[in-house]
Amino acid sequence: MQISEAESVVMDVLWRENPLAAEDVAEAIGNSQAWELSTVKTLLNRLLKKEAIAAIKDGRRYLYRPLIERADYVHAESKSLIDRLFDGRVAPLVAHFSAQRRLSKNDVAELKRLLEELDDEH
């Protein structure tokens, strides 16, 4: 499932709290996007068509909730990125970020910890 960057902003709100009305989603997004309510409703409708979210009638409005888990979406997106740009290999991805000096000391420490955990499992 392809979710655009704008749609992912809406999904992030719904993953944090749901069910929500369109007005609640727009309020949660706030000024970070400067979107009108109509834009949020358009994005919600796109997500409905993609079956990423569901809507339930609540009086005169609809309440929206995600149908996909955030972890599943992140897994699919990261796998797609690694497959497309790094031939499905993680090491070249890490090498790319380290060459660009985008790894902090905390990032390096975290990677070392993860590698140690993987070594312990194998």
What is the reported pTM?
0.81
Residue 43: its pLDDT value, please?
98
Q: Name the residue ranges covered by the structural domains of the chain.
A: 5-66, 70-121
Instruction: Give dist(CA 59, CA 35) in Å, integer.
Output: 25
**Average pLDDT of the segment spanning 115-120:** 86
User: What pLDDT, in 10s, does the model give residues 5-23?
Assistant: 999 999 999 999 999 999 9
Q: Does domain 5-66 have CATH number 3.40.50.11890?
A: no
Please provide the CATH number assigned to the domain covering 70-121.
1.10.4040
Interval 16-72: pLDDT, tens:
999 999 999 999 999 889 899 999 999 999 999 999 999 999 999 999 999 999 999
